[in-house]
């Protein structure tokens, strides 16, 4: 949308898909971690992936100067985060 010396843009996006996560770790040096931290971790899971996003930006022209500013928001939900609660 153009308005005088502004050029405004905004939008939304949603990505849908499936996600499959499988990973593990083994702590080689337990002295670098808090006491009680498990020495191994294994995770495997799958589910639906929904990633919403939105943005807004403005291009402002002031004589010889051009100023571009904007914001963007993205939301990711990994399976391990949902199961760790």
Q: How many domains does the chain have?
A: 1
Contacts of 82 (CB under 8 A, 6+ apart): none
Q: For residues 50 and 13, is the Cβ–Cβ distance under 8 A?
A: no
How much is the pLDDT for 59? 95
Average pLDDT, whole number, for the chain? Answer: 87
How much is the pLDDT for 74? 95
Judged against a pLDDT cut of 90, whether residue 47 lies above it is answered with no
DSSP letter, residue 28: S
Q: Is the pTM of this model over 0.85?
A: no
How much is the pLDDT for 78? 67
Domain extent for 74: 2-83
How many angstroms separate the CA atoms of 32 and 45, rounded?
28
Please, what is the Cα angle at 54 between 52 and 60, to 5 degrees? 170
How much is the pLDDT for 82? 54
Structure tokens at 28: 């080689």
SS3 category, 48: strand
Judged against a pLDDT cut of 80, whether residue 3 lies above it is answered with no
Judged against a pLDDT cut of 80, whether residue 80 lies above it is answered with no
């Amino acid at each position: 949308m153009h308005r005088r010396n502004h050029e405004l843009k905004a939008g939304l996006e949603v990505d849908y898909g499936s996600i499959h996560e499988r990973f593990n770790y083994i702590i080689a040096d337990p002295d670098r971690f808090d006491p009680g931290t498990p020495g191994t971790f294994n995770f495997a899971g799958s589910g639906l992936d929904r990633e919403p996003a939105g943005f807004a930006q403005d291009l402002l022209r002031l004589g010889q100067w051009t100023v571009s500013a904007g914001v963007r928001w993205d939301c990711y939900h990994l399976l391990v985060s949902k199961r760790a609660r």
